[in-house]
Amino acid sequence: MKVAQRWIWARPASIACMAACGMGVASYSAAQEVALDEMQRNIEIFSGVLREGLGLNSRAGIFSPLNGSVRGTYFMDQGIVLEIVSPLASNRSAFNWQTLEGSLQELSGQISSFVNSQSARVNPPDLEAMRESMALSLRGETARGAYAQLLEHLRNVDISSEIESALANASESARSLHQMGQIDDARLNALMAEVSERRARVSERIAALQALRSEVSAAASNDAADTAGTEQQFQTTLDQIVAAVAPVREAAVNRAQELHAMAEQAKREREVQWQSELVVFEENLFGLVCNYAAGLRALPEGEHLTLVLKGLGDESESRREDRIHVLNKTDMQRCLQGEQSREQLRGSARTYSF
């Protein structure tokens, strides 16, 4: 009985302790939940202020997407991270696409040059050519010796690769200038027509070169009475073909150099303009952070606000990095209270690209 009685007296005390402890845990969890809910509201309100202040809520049309976005996340004991997507990122993407397009065009030009150069040159002997060669060797050493050197020369003549490369570069530069607004549609069409006309002239010379090869091959297969005279006629025809291509090559190279210089200058000017727009964008951003820092009152002391500007950081060979600013809550409060300017707030930020 005594033991049971002691147990009965001890039970209410244990229950009271368990209840008190449970209430403490519940109170702590409730406090944490309330803090996180308030943090979420702060982030949503502050993100809305940034979207409105930076002009990211506007649309180009009714069905067009927004100019950008601001998305926030809170990391315990670290702070708030806001990812900001702006029109500057899309503008830079268009600028970089021209660089990528240029690389693709260069590769395309190289492939095209290779194909055309193979067309411009005499094709390597096939089975039929081998049979012709064997027949020629049986018909006489004189005829074979006279035309063998000319046929080898024809195999090595290349009248198209340099011109095709220049025409491809000219086309690429013209498209870049058009995309950057440096030339209008009419000028672009005129340049493309010029490229097509020069390409057609080269194609005519390639056809003439292939016809000459066929004539030389046929002459080498026959017993020619005057091989020296015939060979000289073939050489004269070849010289005329090469001479006809020379002015086309010079004009194509000059045009490619001219347009390339214009495109490079336009790209440099556009990059300078883009950098100026980035400075203005960040000035506006830090001004908003300074003026509305009170909206982040749920952010604990010692934690940070991290602004991630998507695609606005340094450029590497493999990717376009983000530009990141890390701000202390204390510095933001000082700016809000007028103890430092937005420029000083920007200077206090830890800024890097990643």
pLDDT in tens, 2-27: 444 333 333 344 434 444 444 444 44
**284 lies in a domain?**
no
Residue with tokens 């376009």: 320
Predicted local distance difference test score (pLDDT) of residue 279: 94
Looking at the predicted structure, is the pLDDT value of residue 230 above 70? yes
* 111 and 138 co-located in one domain: yes
For residues 1 and 150, state if they share a domain. Answer: no
From 240, 273, 306, the end of a domain falls on: 273
Of the ranges 21-35, 50-64, 134-148, 248-262, the best mean pLDDT one: 248-262
Q: For residue 226, is pLDDT > 50?
A: yes
Is 199 within a domain? yes
Give 263 or 108, the one with higher predicted confidence: 263
Task: Supply the DSSP symbol for 300.
Answer: P
Residue 286 lies in a domain: no
Residue 289, pLDDT > 90, answer: yes
Q: 259 lies in a domain?
A: yes
User: Are the C-beta atoms of residues 144 and 137 closer than 8 Å to each other?
Assistant: yes
Dihedral angle sign, alpha carbons of residues 277, 279, 285, 288: negative
Residue 287: inside a domain, yes or no?
no
Question: What b/e readout covers 171-188, taking b as 16+ CB neighbours within 10 angstroms?
Answer: bbbbbbbbbbebbeeeeb
Q: Evaluate whether residue 241 is within a structural domain.
A: yes
Question: Once rounded to an integer, what is the mean pLDDT over residues 316-342?
Answer: 91
Q: Is 282 domain-assigned?
A: no
70: β partners = 84
pLDDT at 301 over 70: yes
Provide the sign of the torsion angle of the four alpha carbons 240, 201, 174, 315, taken in this order: negative
Task: Say if residue 116's pLDDT is above 60.
Answer: no
Are residues 242 and 126 part of one domain? Answer: yes
209 found inside a domain: yes
Strands 323-328 and 304-309: antiparallel
Domain count, the chain: 2
pTM higher than the cut 0.85? no
pLDDT at 264 over 50: yes
**pLDDT, mean over the chain:** 78
Identify the domain containing residue 13 by its residue range: 1-85+292-354
Asked whether residue 120 falls in the same domain as residue 258, the answer is yes
How open is the CA angle 352-51-181, to the nearest 5 degrees? 75
